[in-house]
């Protein structure tokens, strides 16, 4: 699976989405930082202009300072030239630091803005998006892709401008020094470009493979070194197999890393050799020129070879630009693709708050629902469900697993939209209501309680940020959990969650119930809230739930029928339809599906 993941990721990298007006949109992102960018470009030009001078000064230092025609070195001239050179280099270094600061800060600011934009946008996406998309992929967009954007500015934009200007400046210095030698150097360039291209292609390929192998390793680590992964491996005694899987990938990783280092070294070595060959040829050509009567001083040769060597790296940087641009536009495209996703469930322009009249009334009118990601041709999950729950009623949904009970509970807060039919909340079509207000009126306690890695108090205040300590304790008391919390050394400040204090299943459920009590919603949905608990915890949680459901419309999805015998109304769901409805006694008298289910549970328990 991990291999396929990496392959998919690689393909995704290669096939970035085509975003119209990409350049205009990228420009738009940088728009607020225009001044900093203009200043950066100005600095680049100033820096480049300064760098033209030193080679010419070098020539003069040689020809008039060190080896003047009339004999001994001329110290005052030499000193003057050297001081100017040092001053220019210091100025150039300061400009470099300033420019790097500007590009780094603009790049990172744009990245920060993009990251928060994307995160906020994802928060608004419908639930279906997250069930369809792998968590890893979403995380990678936020972390890797957005992270890569910072590099775009500092690496691509700055290097294009910087290198172009440097190359041009060096070229100008070279021409001033000697146009004949400049021609020699230019003629030799294609050989280097060719070598660099070849080695570059090989390096890119190896880098891709290394990255892929690394992501395989990471994915194995994530899979098998998580709590669930370790439990699975231990319980099926698959540790050896896991080690084997890791070892195979690890061998690849080692081999590729060596290859990568070596390809880098080959690249470097080629450039080094080239850097020493060009001056050698320049010396020979200079000798030939001098013999031919052209005036070429020692200073010219020294200055020329210095500039020419400095020219090499910027030139190679420019050659890489096409690749950099491709990478960065792929990064931008992928981020923009996510930003362009339109949440399929969002407030209508005239969405209204939940009416206060009939609050708690829930109606399903011929609701048909098919999951957006269900396979083609599969039957709908809900096939025409109609029911009404009156305010304050305790309604239960029972039936075999996979019947569609949880789906019913997802549709009420509009986590998904119906395929056809209408769901009304307090008499209004849920699609006409403000989603946040709808959510505020609904509390859910499910089988899997999710607590953040934070203190109990912080987890509780997630429901009501301004709750006082007294509010917290009140809710915890009603949820039968106050005494337990009070017995912890840190009390309400005990950190819970993955890396914190491990609460038992029943304790977690009761914290979740206290959290819902603080939210104080008109409608409470209990989705198999006690089915994962042992019978003692179940009883404690059950009694907390009874307190919680008092005075509000409650929908209980139940596996154990004993918990719903007192319900005002019980809906028996089977195959996406409500097949029976009524009170416990009515349903027993009906002697149908419910009666059979009940008989089975009574006799087996």
How far apart (Å, rounded) are the C-alpha atoms in residues 145 and 330? 9
The dihedral formed by the CA atoms of 72, 77, 82 and 83, expressed in degrees to the nearest 10: 150
In angstroms, what is the minimal distance from the CB of 591 to ligand ADP? 23
Among 334, 405, 482, 552, binds ligand ADP (CB under 6 A): 405
The span of 39-47, 311-319, 398-406, 542-550 binding ligand ADP (CB under 6 A) equals 398-406
Tokens of 477: 């008391």
Does the footprint of ligand ADP cover residue 401 (CB under 6 A)? yes
The span of 178-186, 319-327, 337-345, 400-408 binding ligand ADP (CB under 6 A) equals 400-408
How far apart (Å, rounded) are the C-alpha atoms in residues 562 and 346? 39
Among 373, 546, 566, 586, binds ligand ADP (CB under 6 A): 373
Closer to ligand ADP by CB, 207 or 380: give it: 380
Contact 431, 438 (CB under 8 A): no
Size of the site for ligand ADP (CB under 6 A): 12
Closer to ligand ADP by CB, 405 or 510: give it: 405
Output DSSP code: residue 501.
Answer: B
The span of 76-84, 356-364, 370-378, 540-548 binding ligand ADP (CB under 6 A) equals 370-378
Closest CA to 65 of 83, 79, 85: 79
Does the footprint of ligand ADP cover residue 344 (CB under 6 A)? no
Contact 555, 397 (CB under 8 A): yes
Contact 172, 52 (CB under 8 A): yes
Tokens of 18: 């085509």
Does the footprint of ligand ADP cover residue 374 (CB under 6 A)? yes
In angstroms, what is the minimal distance from the CB of 401 to ligand ADP? 4
Does the footprint of ligand ADP cover residue 143 (CB under 6 A)? no
Among 217, 403, 541, 572, binds ligand ADP (CB under 6 A): 403
The span of 113-121, 308-316, 396-404, 507-515 binding ligand ADP (CB under 6 A) equals 396-404
Contact 525, 442 (CB under 8 A): yes
Closest CA to 433 of 420, 417, 410, 446: 417
- Phi and psi, residue 45, nearest 5°: -65, -45
Among 51, 306, 381, 435, binds ligand ADP (CB under 6 A): 381
Contact 287, 173 (CB under 8 A): no
Closest CA to 369 of 326, 397, 332, 409: 409
In angstroms, what is the minimal distance from the CB of 369 to ligand ADP? 9
In angstroms, what is the minimal distance from the CB of 461 to ligand ADP? 30
Among 4, 120, 131, 222, binds ligand ADP (CB under 6 A): 131
Does the footprint of ligand ADP cover residue 570 (CB under 6 A)? no
Does the footprint of ligand ADP cover residue 404 (CB under 6 A)? yes
Q: Per CB under 6 A, which of residues 51..90 are in contact with ligand ADP?
A: none
Among 355, 402, 427, 551, binds ligand ADP (CB under 6 A): 402
The span of 85-93, 149-157, 402-410, 477-485 binding ligand ADP (CB under 6 A) equals 402-410
Tokens of 435: 């989603």
Does the footprint of ligand ADP cover residue 448 (CB under 6 A)? no
Residue 472, classified by CB atoms within 10 Å of its CB into exposed (0-12), middle (13-18) or buried (19+), is: buried
The span of 60-68, 88-96, 371-379, 446-454 binding ligand ADP (CB under 6 A) equals 371-379
In angstroms, what is the minimal distance from the CB of 509 to ligand ADP? 18
In angstroms, what is the minimal distance from the CB of 11 to ligand ADP? 24
Closer to ligand ADP by CB, 401 or 470: give it: 401
In angstroms, what is the minimal distance from the CB of 531 to ligand ADP? 11
The dihedral formed by the CA atoms of 575, 576, 578 and 584, expressed in degrees to the nearest 10: 60
Does the footprint of ligand ADP cover residue 556 (CB under 6 A)? no
Contact 267, 203 (CB under 8 A): yes
Does the footprint of ligand ADP cover residue 566 (CB under 6 A)? no
How far apart (Å, rounded) are the C-alpha atoms in residues 114 and 144? 12
How far apart (Å, rounded) are the C-alpha atoms in residues 111 and 118? 10
How far apart (Å, rounded) are the C-alpha atoms in residues 339 and 69? 70
Tokens of 398: 């029972």
Tokens of 560: 């154990």
SS3 577: strand
Does the footprint of ligand ADP cover residue 480 (CB under 6 A)? no
Going from the C-alpha of 599 to that of each of 150, 380, 472, 534, 560, the distances in angstroms are: 65, 30, 41, 22, 12
In angstroms, what is the minimal distance from the CB of 565 to ligand ADP? 19
The span of 108-116, 341-349, 368-376, 445-453 binding ligand ADP (CB under 6 A) equals 368-376
- Phi and psi, residue 48, nearest 5°: -70, -40
Instruction: Answer positive or negative: Cα dihedral of 18, 21, 22, 25.
Output: negative
Q: Per CB under 6 A, which of residues 407..426 are in contact with ligand ADP?
A: 407
Closer to ligand ADP by CB, 190 or 375: give it: 375
Among 166, 196, 406, 435, binds ligand ADP (CB under 6 A): 406
Site of interaction with ligand ADP (CB under 6 A) = 131, 371, 373-374, 381, 401-407
């Amino acid at each position: 699976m991990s291999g396929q993941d990496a392959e998919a990721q690689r393909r995704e990298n290669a096939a970035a989405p085509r975003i119209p007006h990409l350049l205009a949109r990228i420009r738009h992102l940088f728009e607020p930082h225009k001044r900093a960018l203009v200043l950066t470009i100005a600095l680049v030009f100033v820096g480049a202009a300064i760098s033209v001078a030193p080679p010419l000064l070098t020539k003069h230092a040689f020809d008039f300072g060190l080896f003047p025609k009339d004999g001994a070195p001329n110290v005052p001239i030499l000193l003057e030239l050297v001081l100017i050179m040092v001053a220019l280099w210091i100025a150039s270094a300061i400009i470099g630091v300033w420019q790097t600061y500007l590009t780094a800060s603009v790049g990172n600011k744009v990245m920060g803005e993009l990251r928060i934009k994307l995160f906020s946008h994802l928060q608004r996406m419908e639930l279906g998006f997250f069930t369809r998309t792998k968590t890893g992929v979403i995380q990678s967009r936020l972390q890797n892709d957005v992270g890569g954007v910072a590099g775009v500015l500092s690496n691509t934009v700055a290097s294009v401008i910087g290198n172009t200007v440097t190359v041009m400046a060096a070229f100008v210095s070279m021409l001033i020094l000697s146009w004949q030698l400049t021609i020699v150097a230019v003629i030799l360039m294609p050989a280097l470009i060719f070598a660099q291209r070849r080695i570059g292609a090989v390096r890119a390929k190896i880098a891709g493979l290394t990255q892929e192998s690394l992501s395989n390793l990471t994915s194995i680590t994530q899979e098998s070194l998580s709590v669930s992964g370790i439990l699975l491996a231990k319980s099926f005694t698959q540790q050896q197999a896991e080690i084997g899987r890791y070892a195979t990938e690890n061998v690849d990783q080692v081999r590729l890393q060596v290859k990568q280092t070596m390809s880098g070294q080959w690249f470097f070595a080629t450039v080094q050799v080239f850097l020493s060959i060009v001056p050698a040829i320049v010396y020979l050509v200079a000798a030939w020129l001098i013999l031919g009567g052209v005036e070429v001083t020692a200073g010219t040769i020294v200055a020329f070879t210095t500039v020419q060597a400095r020219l090499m790296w910027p030139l190679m940087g420019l050659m890489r630009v096409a690749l950099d641009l491709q990478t960065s536009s792929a990064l931008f495209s992928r981020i923009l693709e996510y930003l362009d996703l339109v949440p399929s469930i969002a407030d209508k322009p005239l969405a209204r708050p939940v009416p206060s009249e009939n609050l708690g009334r829930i109606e399903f009118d011929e609701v048909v629902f098919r999951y957006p990601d269900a396979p083609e041709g599969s039957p709908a999950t809900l096939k025409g469900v109609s029911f009404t729950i009156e305010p304050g009623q305790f309604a239960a949904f029972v039936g075999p697993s996979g019947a569609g009970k949880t789906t019913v509970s997802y549709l009420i807060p509009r986590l998904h939209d119906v395929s056809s039919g209408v769901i009304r909340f307090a008499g209004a079509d849920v699609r006409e209501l403000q989603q946040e207000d709808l959510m505020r009126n609904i509390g859910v306690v499910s089988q899997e309680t999710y607590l953040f890695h934070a203190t109990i108090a912080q987890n509780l205040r997630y429901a009501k940020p301004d709750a006082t300590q007294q509010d917290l304790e009140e809710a915890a008391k009603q949820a039968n959990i106050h005494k337990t919390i009070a017995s912890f050394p840190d009390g309400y400040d005990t950190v819970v969650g993955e890396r914190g204090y491990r609460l038992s299943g029943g304790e977690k459920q009761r914290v979740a119930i206290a959290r819902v009590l603080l939210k104080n919603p008109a409608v409470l949905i209990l989705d198999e809230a006690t089915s994962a608990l042992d019978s003692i915890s179940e009883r404690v949680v059950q009694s907390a739930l009874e307190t919680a459901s008092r005075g509000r419309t409650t929908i209980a999805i139940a596996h154990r029928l004993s918990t719903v015998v007192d319900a005002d109304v019980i809906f028996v769901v089977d195959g996406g339809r409500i097949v029976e409805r009524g009170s416990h006694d009515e349903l027993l008298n009906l002697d149908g599906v419910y009666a059979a289910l009940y008989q089975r549970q009574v006799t087996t328990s």
